[in-house]
């Protein structure tokens, strides 16, 4: 993870931990394991789509704004994206490998078949995070722009030992294109649709207009003890 201060958007690792404490563990405090079993909406699965990277970036960490030791950050609206991976009873799932992939600020994926515009070479396009005992994950990325044919979205894959890869997509609350998006509309249950539609909210203390988004994923499984 690159954590220096060589550009205005850099977030020192201390700050990141602080961010996680403020935005992550706060929510974890009132998530009593198993207590919400009745109310939890299972996150709907969504197609992986054609743009899972066909070659992985040189760097696959959870900071998509900096590739390896690069000093030039990716362009875009910086977004701190976090959440938890939960089982059907609301208990956190540890050792889940969370992967995200999305377009850069020009609307281009890290994929050799996506050539409709020039790619931002400073954007990692893909990242990974392995959950610990709280089930939390965290990525620093950009708010995805629109690209032809789709509303704004971030792809997710969750990989666990002995389980089939699970994929979905995360959407942005208030985005007018959502209602015109066939894949989004494919989620028929309004509550399930709501569960993948999250706020990308301005962080008040940020002088550079950073956003925060929280997307919890509830998997319909109870891991074996
Ligand atoms: Fe996509």
Expressed in angstroms and rounded, the spacing between residue 51 Cα and the centre of ligand 1 is 7
Expressed in angstroms and rounded, the spacing between residue 102 Cα and the centre of ligand 1 is 6
193-212 tens-digit pLDDT: 999 999 999 999 999 999 99
Expressed in angstroms and rounded, the spacing between residue 149 Cα and the centre of ligand 1 is 9
Expressed in angstroms and rounded, the spacing between residue 172 Cα and the centre of ligand 1 is 13
What average pLDDT score do residues 63-87 get? 96
Expressed in angstroms and rounded, the spacing between residue 170 Cα and the centre of ligand 1 is 10
124: pLDDT strictly greater than 90:
yes
Q: What predicted TM-score, i.e. pTM, was given to this entire model?
A: 0.83
Q: List CB contacts of 47: < 8 A, sequence separation 6 or more.
A: 167, 169, 183
24: pLDDT strictly greater than 80:
no
| Cβ atoms of residues 198 and 225 within 8 Å | no
Using a pLDDT cut of 70, give the percent of the chain over it. 81
Span of 16-25, 75-84, 142-151 with lowest mean pLDDT: 16-25
Helical residues (DSSP H) of the chain, grouped into ranges: 13-20, 26-29, 182-185, 190-195
| Cβ atoms of residues 71 and 65 within 8 Å | no
Which pLDDT score is estimated for 11? 44
Which pLDDT score is estimated for 110? 97
Expressed in angstroms and rounded, the spacing between residue 152 Cα and the centre of ligand 1 is 8
């Amino acid at each position: 993870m690159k954590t220096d201060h060589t550009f205005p958007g850099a977030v020192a690792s201390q700050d990141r931990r602080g961010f996680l404490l403020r935005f992550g563990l706060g929510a974890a405090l009132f998530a009593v394991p198993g207590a919400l079993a009745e109310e939890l909406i299972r996150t709907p699965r969504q197609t992986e789509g054609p743009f899972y990277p066909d070659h992985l970036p040189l760097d696959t960490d959870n900071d998509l704004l900096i590739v390896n030791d690069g000093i030039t950050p990716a362009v875009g609206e910086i977004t701190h994206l976090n959440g938890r991976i939960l089982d059907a009873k609301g208990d956190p799932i540890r050792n889940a490998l969370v992967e995200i992939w999305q377009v850069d600020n020009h609307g281009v994926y890290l994929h050799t078949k996506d050539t409709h515009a020039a790619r931002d070479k400073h954007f990692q396009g893909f990242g990974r995070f392995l959950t610990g005992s709280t089930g939390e994950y965290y990525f620093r990325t950009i708010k995805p722009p629109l690209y032809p044919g789709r509303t704004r979205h971030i792809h997710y894959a969750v990989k666990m030992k002995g389980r089939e890869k699970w994929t979905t997509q995360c959407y942005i609350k208030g985005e007018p294109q959502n209602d015109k998006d066939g894949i989004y509309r494919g989620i028929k249950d309004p509550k399930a649709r709501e569960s993948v539609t999250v706020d990308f909210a301005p962080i008040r203390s940020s002088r550079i207009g950073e956003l925060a988004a929280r997307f919890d994923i509830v998997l319909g499984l109870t891991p074996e003890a």
